[in-house]
Structure 1
Amino acid sequence: MCSLLLLSTVAAATPALAQEADHYTAVSNTAMSVTGDIWLDDFSITFENDESLNFSALVADHFQVGGRNVPASVYRVKNPADPELQNGNQLCGNGDVTYVANWALSDGMSAIAVFTGKRAPKGDDEMCALYTYQDPE
């Protein structure tokens, strides 16, 4: 009975739609204050407050970061939005998010960048916000 109660408590603490996605722990100050931890897969990103953005397509598998071409996943957001997240902060704060890019950094870290443009972004110079997370273990 006690383990069943513990299991249901853990399940309730995890965003409902994200239980099958990879859990990334917020590391940067912006990630901790805006998104909190996230759950990400090829279909959506879910934020700590249970808000989410669904993806309609993977539009690129490479991306320019600091002028270098890196392996990345660039997703088109199905229904563009700028959700209100932690502490009343918005994901972008500068319009509806239309694309989300994810790429690996060094030392087991990942970056998530968000974009508001109509065309798929080619590089990080077009982003409206950048968040850093510890990779899933």
Structure 2
Amino acid sequence: MSILKYAAVAFCLVSTPALADDLVALSTTATSITGDISFDDFEIVFENGKKLVFDELIADNFIVNGKKVPASVYSVKGTANPKLLNGNRLCGTSPVTYLASWLDDDVTMIAVFETQDAPQSDEDMCALYTYVYP
């Protein structure tokens, strides 16, 4: 095998990093607090450049309005509660502890939590933000 063929095989075996999804704020809440976002399995970056870094993915499903849906539930690293657009914060004065994301048709839903225990459903969310792909 030539060196070029080895290089091509090696290139194919190297995993590429996950690219963030760029999402446009849809709800009034998202428009006025977060603005547009970039979101991936490692962090969420808000329009003003502030971010929440995820510690780990803790669940792949979630209860929304009493129905189990495919979702990503993340624990948030540290005690982040960034100031976003117009000095707003995601929920209030407490640090954000968890974030859940799921699709509802073509709309990305993001629920934010300030709870000590990992959320199982949307019941304890402190805020809900909605986004769409551009």
In structure 2, the residue matched to 1:117 is 115
Structural RMSD (CA):
1.0
For residues 107 and 120 of structure 2, what CA distance do their matches in structure 1 show? 21
How far did residue 79 of structure 1 move? 1.2
For residues 114 and 64 of structure 1, what CA distance do their matches in structure 2 show? 14
For 1:1-137, list aligned pairs within 5 A: 20-106=19-105, 108-135=106-133
How far did residue 80 of structure 1 move? 2.4
Tell which deviates more after alignment, 64-73 or 93-102.
Answer: 93-102
In structure 1, the residue matched to 2:8 is none
TM-score (norm 1): 0.82
Superposed CA deviations along residues 76-119 of structure 1, whole A, max 9, x for unmatched, are: 0011222110111111114110001000012x111001001111
How far did residue 68 of structure 1 move? 0.4
For residues 89 and 35 of structure 2, what CA distance do their matches in structure 1 show? 12
The DSSP-based 3-state class of the residue aligned with 2:32 is helix
The DSSP-based 3-state class of the residue aligned with 1:97 is coil
The DSSP-based 3-state class of the residue aligned with 1:31 is helix
Query: Which letter maps to 1:36?
Result: G
Q: 1:60 to 1:120 in 2, by over 3 A?
A: same
Query: Which letter maps to 2:97?
Result: T
How far did residue 135 of structure 1 move? 3.2
For residues 58 and 117 of structure 1, what CA distance do their matches in structure 2 show? 16
Q: Name stretches of at least 5 consecutive residues in structure 1 with no aligned partner.
A: 1-19
The DSSP-based 3-state class of the residue aligned with 2:77 is strand
Residue identity over aligned pairs, in percent, reads 54
Q: Which has the larger radius of gyration?
A: 2
